[in-house]
């Protein structure tokens, strides 16, 4: 077996081991940090998958939250209806086997459904470029939200309670590892250089025999698939979801992470996802210390003010993000074979 898949399997085993031996300890002793840990995982999945679309392929999408919503609602509604049947066969809702099987099946279902939605949205809208694509994906994201808001069996504006919060460290970080592996090994291949050529110059890419539409749609479908998975993990983590949780600002959150990390740099985006998940929490903690006058507490607690300044300042001073984008493309595949 070559080094790539091998490292994937090793990483998955590490996740499994941590989950088996550490999960209960962290969850019961450090509940607050446990929550942050899961949130980090979900954000890394969202950001690295969006990076395939916005970063590597250069198709600026503002609708990632829409696909996350599809995943969350798909898995929530699936679990509410199908899980009881699975429990019947696998020893009830207290059996770890049953809950893990249920989670796996519903997460997979969510990913597939989001990928199908990604295909349906991507095929028509990826003919557009730049600003237009951004607005249309934003539009699709909003339409998805409005549609859920008007669908009674998904709870409409009341929100949807999801059976059981089964999301654990293994499934979260297993998905993180899988997502990063998929993005990296796709991009680091002769096939995957196609994504980058689409970003750089579509006309030249077509002239080199590269089917740009196919690449764009592939990136979009893979991105949506993982957004769906992130949504499913989120639904089974919070056990309660509302359409408002997947509005435009949720998409912006992910976009900010991708831009801060550097479009087209998986390492950068992963680091940025961790930083930007912790940062609001850290600032909130800071706001309630004696060092901060009460008048400024609100300023520190509002993460969107911070994000907005971050976006503006980054674009003015360092548009390539923290890690730049040469990081990804300068490496030869001799080294990339192993990643």
Of residues 125 and 266, the one with the C-beta less far from another protein: 125
Task: Report CA-CA distances (Å) from 323 to 40, 82, 276, 327.
Answer: 19, 44, 15, 7
CB of 108 to another protein, least distance (A): 16
CB of 40 to another protein, least distance (A): 22
CB of 39 to another protein, least distance (A): 20
Of residues 73 and 307, the one with the C-beta less far from another protein: 307
CB of 286 to another protein, least distance (A): 16
Of residues 29 and 190, the one with the C-beta less far from another protein: 190
Of residues 83 and 325, the one with the C-beta less far from another protein: 325
Q: Please report how the helices 31-50 and 266-287 are oriented relative to each other, as an axis angle in degrees rounded to 10.
A: 140
Task: Report CA-CA distances (Å) from 8 to 185, 205, 218.
Answer: 11, 31, 22
CB of 3 to another protein, least distance (A): 8
Of residues 99 and 264, the one with the C-beta less far from another protein: 264
């Amino acid at each position: 077996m070559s080094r790539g898949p091998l490292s994937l399997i090793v990483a998955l085993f590490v996740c499994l081991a941590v989950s088996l031996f550490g999960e209960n300890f962290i969850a019961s002793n450090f509940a607050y940090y446990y929550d942050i840990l899961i949130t980090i995982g979900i954000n890394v999945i969202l950001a690295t998958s969006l990076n395939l679309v916005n970063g590597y392929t250069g198709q600026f999408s503002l609708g990632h939250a829409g696909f996350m919503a599809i995943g969350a609602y798909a898995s929530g509604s699936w679990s509410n209806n199908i899980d009881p049947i699975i429990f019947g066969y696998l020893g009830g809702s207290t059996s770890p086997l049953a809950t893990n099987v249920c989670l796996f099946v519903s997460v997979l279902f969510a990913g597939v459904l989001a990928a199908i939605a990604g295909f349906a949205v991507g095929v028509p809208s990826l003919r557009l470029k730049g600003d237009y694509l951004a607005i249309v994906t934003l539009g699709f994201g909003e339409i998805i939200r409005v549609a859920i808001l008007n669908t009674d069996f998904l709870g409409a504006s009341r929100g949807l309670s999801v059976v059981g919060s089964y999301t654990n460290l293994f499934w979260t970080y297993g998905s993180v590892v899988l997502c990063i592996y998929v993005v990296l090994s796709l991009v680091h291949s002769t096939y995957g250089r196609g994504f980058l050529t689409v970003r750089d110059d579509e006309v030249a890419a077509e002239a080199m025999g590269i089917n740009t539409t196919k690449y764009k749609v592939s990136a979009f479908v893979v991105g949506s698939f993982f957004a769906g998975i992130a949504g499913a993990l989120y639904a089974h983590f919070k056990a309660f979801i509302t359409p408002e949780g997947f509005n435009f600002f949720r998409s912006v959150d992910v976009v900010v992470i991708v831009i801060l990390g550097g479009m087209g740099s998986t390492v950068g985006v992963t680091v940025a996802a961790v930083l930007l998940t912790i940062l609001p929490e850290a600032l909130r903690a800071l706001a309630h210390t004696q060092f901060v006058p009460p008048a400024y507490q609100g300023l520190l607690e509002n993460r969107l003010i911070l994000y907005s300044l971050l976006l503006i300042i980054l674009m003015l001073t360092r548009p390539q993000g923290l890690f730049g984008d040469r990081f990804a493309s300068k490496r030869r595949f001799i080294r990339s074979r192993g990643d």
